[in-house]
Structures are given as C-alpha cells and as structure tokens.
Chains A and B, each alone.
Chain A
Amino acid sequence: MTERARSVLEAAKAPDAGRAVREFVAQAGRDAAFQLEACVHCGQCADACHFHRVTGDPRFTPVYKLRPMLKAYQREAAPFAQVKEALGLAPPEVTAAELHEWSELLYDSCNQCGRCTLACPVGIDIAGLVRLAREGMAAGGFAPSDLVKAAERSLDTGSPIGVRWPALKRQIELQEQETGLHVPVDAEGAEYMVVLSSIEIMAFPEAIGALARIFRQAGATWTIPSAGFEATNVGVQMGSRDVAAELLSRIVEAAERLKVKCVISPECGHAYSALRWEGPNLLGRRYGFEVVQIAELLDRFVREGRLRLRGKDARRLTFHDPCQLVRRGGITEAPGRLMHGVSANLVEMPGSGAASFCCGGGGGVSAIHRAEALRFAAFESKKQQIDATGAEALVTACGNCRNVLEEAIEHYGMTLPVLGLTELVAQYLEPEAGAR
C-alpha cells in the first residue's frame, strides 16, 4: 500500500493528462454519472460559493470546476460517447495545459464545503464530485505541490507538518503537568482511542488536557496511540485514495492493536469525513470499532449525565459550523446543544447551521500557499456572518477552521478570540477533587 501511495506522489514529477483522464473516467461511476449528466447550467451553484461571491469570477462557479472530468466522461464513458465520436461531436481532449489551469479551480478555490451541493436544484453533489475529480488531478500529477509535499511528509513522518511521536509526547507531558491528570498512552483495552490533528498538537495542545479532564469526569477509559495518532489525512485533501488509505490504515492498525471499542475523531472536519465516511471504503472493509466525533461524544456524555456542567460563559459567543461536520457529516445537533450548555449569551450567525459559510481554508486550501490571498478574500462571506452577531468570541469544533479563522481575523484587523468547543466544555465541567 505504501509503494502505491508513493507512486502517486511520483506522478507529480511528470504530469500527464492521459493518466488524469483515465482516473476521471474510473471515478465516474453510476451515481456520479447521473449527476454529471443532469446539470442544466442554471448557475445557481455560483451564488452559493463564497469564492464566486467575493470575486465575481465566473470560473469559480462550482460546477464549472468539474469541466475536465465531465469532458473526459463525455468522451470516454457517457452513453452516446461512441456515436458522438463517430459523428465528430465529441468534446475536445482534455489537455495538460487545461489541467494546470484547473488546478486553481479544483483546489485553490474549492473547500469541498458542500454549500453548492445544498443549493443545486437538480441535486448534484458538486462537492462530492470535486472530491472525485481531485483523484484524477492527483493521478495525473496536477495536484498543488504544497499538498504533494504534505502528503510526502505524512507518509514519512505520519504528519503533514512533520509532527512525530516525541513532539506529541512532550505536549502530553506538559498537559499532564498543567492538569495534574494522567494521559494514558497505548493503553490496551481502553474504551476510547483519541487521535489528534497536527494543528491541535502544536497550536492548541490544551485540547489534550481538556480531554483528560473530560474522560476523568465521564469515568471512561481512554488512550492516545504512540503510533497512528495523526488524524489529518492529506490524501483525502489532495485526492489520492492510495495516500488516504495508507494514512488511515495507521489509525485502524492502532485501534485494532489496542483493542479499543471506539475511535474518537478530533476537532477536525475533514479528518472526521476521512475516518468516518471514506475510511471503510478506502480500505475495502468495515471497521471493528465505532468512530465518533468528539462533539458527538461530549454531547452523549452530557445527555447521559456522565459530564456535569457548572456555570456558563457570559460573553457574547457565536459558533462557526465546520462544514465537514455540520453540513456534510451529519453532526447537526450536538454542537448547538453543547454550546447552549456552556454559553449564557449564545448568538446564532445569520444562515448558521447546514448552510453556513466555510472559513475558507477547508479541503486542503489552507495548506496551499499560492491560495492564501484568495482564501482571505473568501473569508469576507464568513466575516459578514460573524460581524452580524456582534460576538465577543468565536467558538468552533475544528482545529483547521480555528487556525484559518485566527489568521483571517488577524488579516482583517478584527479582535475576536477563537475558542475550541472541547476546551470550552472542559472549562465548565463541575470541579472534582484532585483536579487542577
């Protein structure tokens, strides 16, 4: 599996439109084909996309981003492909120059946030098709070099930013000192195995301490694996199922080695999507454990009475809905219930919930340096939603969103702290004897 994953990265060194076309066609199965064929070119998806809204660039129309995949499908696999070719009516071949141009459209200007999917009147899952189209782009060697390098680092070190076990071990020790609580590592037979994103480990390590306090009060056994702890999956972001499967297999091997009942997906939207929804299909087998996102688990613990909350944050708080959790992942109720549990002054953003705007950095965009200016521009839509609340602090349940929001807030000269939901819940736990 590792060799196959590395061979995909080798493709980036010699881009080839033919390879991309073959993969576009391979990805166009029955369901994708029904959707590719149904588009009526109404353009309503453009109004749903923050990249189009802020730039007005018609090329950022979500369904237009699928054009190379559509052309490949129409030439090679569509029902009338051979007839059209015989009559000279087939669309022109997909070229390398075209795919280089589309790299900006399929990566830099798409968070795979799925707002377009929700708006499409003919029900095309455009974000899902972009995910498939990226498989073609990566196979052909047209994925952005930043994502390819992040994938190489992930395969080499386990983390897209090179975070290895000693770095996590150090953060765990610091959090143990901070909280006075033990963080179990490689505890076989624990109920819950927590995986983390590199962003959390390096930028928001207090999340580890928060988890220790949460599991202690809930009376649940848990562990962090020393190998297979990284939840971030750059394979899903760049569009390589081989890379994605290799990275996922490390988590699955850890869960099976430690014989845990449940793997907790951290505050990371795409990590949840990769582990919960794509994982079994990428690996070709069902898991022997449950996958639960941390917000779902906290909500479950609170409703079961295993977590007891005391006091509420008095500030004017608002919640940013991570797209891969709230819109695409089906975690629609838990974050809201938790927020009401810890906030005395919660203000909903206009259009919050399933149709909320993305932070602008999802789908790997935050890792693409050339896309930075566009990402900050796209944040304008989110900024309008935030500004309308007059919030004093912003809360979210995704480390990547949090990082992207903090950067954008600084870029726009705003003065809004961004908090993690898990830490906020941990902050308002009923104090227990012995805990700091």
Chain B
Amino acid sequence: MTSMALLEFARGPALWASLAVLVAGSLWRVAGILRLGTTPDLSEPRSTRLFAGAMRGIFARMLPRVEFRLRKKLSFWNGYVYHVGLAVIVFGYLPHIFFVERLTGLGWPPLPEPVFFVFVGLTFVSLLIALVERLTDPVRRLLSSFDDYFSWAVVLLPLATGMIAIHQSYAPGTAPAPPLDPLPLAIHLLSVELLFLWLPFGKLAHAFLVFASRGVTGAALTRKGAAL
C-alpha cells in the first residue's frame, strides 16, 4: 500500500468505521447502564428542583470547593492544563476545523498559529507529567490498570503524530496545501481513529459519563438539601 493509499484509507473507510464504533459503542454503554433501572425515592424531598440540582452538579464540579483546592499539588492543576489544551488543539487548529467542516459543514475561526503551538507544547508536557504522576503517586498507581495507561497512550498518540504531521505553516483563513508526504498525516488520522475506537470502552468514556455521574449525584444531594 502506498502512502497516498494509506491516507485515503484513513480519510475514508477507517474514519467512518471508527466513528461508527464510537457512536454505537457509546450508545451501547449508556443504554447498558440505563437498562439497570432505578426505583423511585419515597422519602419526602426537601427540594423538588432536581433538574436544576443535576445541572448545578454538572457545572459546580468543574471547579472544586475551596476546601479541596490542592493549590500546591501539581496533579491538581495539571488535569486542567491537558483538558483545556486538548480542547484548544482539537477545535482551534485550522486543519482540524477544515476536517470538521468537511464532515459537518460547520466551521469557525482558528487560533493564531503561535498560540496553537504553545498549547501543543503545554499539553504534551502536561500529559507526560500526568503519566509520571500516575506511576509515582502511590494512590494513583494503586488505582491504575491497563485501561489507564492505554487510555493515556491513545490520547498522547494523536498529539505526537500530529506534531510530526505539521510540516508546513498555513495562512489563516486558507486551506492548507496538500501534504508533500501523505504518510505522517495518514498515521495521525489512524491514531485519532484508534482513540475513537477505544473511547466508548475504557475510562475515556468519562467524556460523556461525567455528565451523568455529576447529574445523578447533584439531583440526589439537592433532593436532601445537601451541599453540592
């Protein structure tokens, strides 16, 4: 298979197959949990504003309560760095925006290239720190399994392969030129597709499960009038 053929495979069948697994796997996981069912709570509620409580639960936990802000702990802030960094890289880089536009028709202005590169660097270092902390912190080492390390790898891979695939700069507002060497871009796309394939089955599914978890706890605590 030539490099161009590999790129076409990555842009075509591999992309659609991985997206199909991403969507079907995520739906399966959520449906599999929903089917477990629940029983109505018969205790007299202190508050019946459960939807508002669920929403508060979702948004309030984005920042910890002041008592739990571990200001001196690198891991605490590091989590924010790579989450924000990944979001900026995915949604702020012009070729990614073109990619999404091709699939959905939706586009938006990109970030200036130097800003993007700063985020790439920060996110890369941040993910390395996350791994080192997971390996060295006794609590996280105890909690960690194959899922944690493999998930870390499938997040890092698109970043690493993307850094290799950046072979030329681009002018804002214009489509990047076709790649001189299709192989790095093909590998980058395949690494993203690996992430799509894995996301529904491992801990990366927290990307959507976090809303359910925070929501049910937010509603339950609101029902009691307890602190969120």
B:76-95 near A, CB below 8 Å: 76, 79
B:40-59 near A, CB below 8 Å: 41-44, 46, 57-58
**Which of the residues B201, B203, B217, B218 comes within 8 Å of A80, measured between beta carbons?**
B201
Taking the nearest CB of chain B, how far is it from the CB of A105, in angstroms?
A: 12
CB–CB A34/B33 < 8 A: yes
CB–CB B216/A58 < 8 A: no
CB–CB B38/A29 < 8 A: yes
**B-chain residues with CB within 8 Å of residue A41 when the two chains form the complex:** 140, 143-145, 148, 203
CB–CB B36/A30 < 8 A: yes
CB–CB A61/B143 < 8 A: yes
CB–CB A355/B43 < 8 A: no
CB–CB B224/A277 < 8 A: yes
Interface string of A92-123 (1 = CB under 8 A from B): 00000000000000000000000001111111
Report the separation of the CA atoms of residues A436 and B59 in the bound assembly, to the nearest whole angstrom: 54
Contacts known (A38-B206, A119-B65); A79 close to B41, Cβ less than 8 A: no
Interface string of A283-311 (1 = CB under 8 A from B): 01111001100000000000000000000
Taking the nearest CB of chain A, how far is it from the CB of B177, in angstroms?
A: 39
Taking the nearest CB of chain A, how far is it from the CB of B28, in angstroms?
A: 6
Contact of A18 with B by CB under 8 A: no
**B-chain residues with CB within 8 Å of residue A374 when the two chains form the complex:** none
What is the chain B residue whose CB lies nearest that of A63? Answer: B143
CB–CB B143/A279 < 8 A: no
B:180-228 near A, CB below 8 Å: 201, 203, 205-206, 209-210, 212-218, 220-221, 224-228
Binds B, one of A4-12, A326-334, A390-398: A326-334
Interface string of A16-37 (1 = CB under 8 A from B): 0000000000001111011101
CB–CB A35/B227 < 8 A: no
Report the separation of the CA atoms of residues A39 and B147 in the bound assembly, to the nearest whole angstrom: 12
Binds B, one of A43-51, A175-183, A218-226, A421-429: A43-51
Contacts known (A34-B209, A41-B144, A277-B43); A122 close to B214, Cβ less than 8 A: yes
Contact of A204 with B by CB under 8 A: no
**Which of the residues A56, A121, A125, A285 comes within 8 Å of B64, measured between beta carbons?**
A121
The total of chain A residues at the interface (CB under 8 A) is 61
**Which of the residues B29, B42, B216, B225 comes within 8 Å of A35, measured between beta carbons?**
B216
**Which of the residues A79, A328, A329 comes within 8 Å of B32, measured between beta carbons?**
A79
Report the separation of the CA atoms of residues A328 and B228 in the bound assembly, to the nearest whole angstrom: 10
**B-chain residues with CB within 8 Å of residue A122 when the two chains form the complex:** 61, 206, 209-210, 213-214
Taking the nearest CB of chain A, how far is it from the CB of B172, in angstroms?
A: 35
Interface string of A59-93 (1 = CB under 8 A from B): 10101100000000000011110000000000000
**Which of the residues B37, B142, B226 comes within 8 Å of A61, measured between beta carbons?**
B142
Taking the nearest CB of chain A, how far is it from the CB of B92, in angstroms?
A: 24
Report the separation of the CA atoms of residues A158 and B81 in the bound assembly, to the nearest whole angstrom: 55
Contact of A278 with B by CB under 8 A: yes
Contact of B31 with A by CB under 8 A: yes
Report the separation of the CA atoms of residues A196 and B38 in the bound assembly, to the nearest whole angstrom: 33
Contact of A417 with B by CB under 8 A: no
**Which of the residues B61, B73, B142 comes within 8 Å of A120, measured between beta carbons?**
B61
**A-chain residues with CB within 8 Å of residue B227 when the two chains form the complex:** 118, 327, 332, 353-355
Most buried by A among B43, B70, B76, B215: B43
**Which of the residues B33, B65, B145 comes within 8 Å of A37, measured between beta carbons?**
B33
Report the separation of the CA atoms of residues A278 and B41 in the bound assembly, to the nearest whole angstrom: 9
**B-chain residues with CB within 8 Å of residue A46 when the two chains form the complex:** 139
Contact of B174 with A by CB under 8 A: no
Report the separation of the CA atoms of residues A28 and B144 in the bound assembly, to the nearest whole angstrom: 22
Give the 8 A-B CB pairs with smallest separation, nearest first: A79-B32, A330-B225, A123-B214, A354-B227, A38-B213, A280-B42, A355-B67, A43-B139
13 CB contacts below 8 A, A to B, read A30-B38, A34-B33, A41-B144, A43-B143, A47-B70, A63-B143, A64-B143, A80-B201, A119-B68, A278-B43, A284-B42, A330-B226, A332-B226
Beyond A64-B143, A123-B213, 18 additional pairs, beta carbon < 8 A:
A29-B38, A34-B212, A38-B206, A40-B206, A41-B203, A47-B70, A61-B139, A61-B142, A78-B32, A80-B28, A122-B61, A122-B213, A123-B216, A123-B217, A125-B217, A280-B42, A284-B42, A329-B224
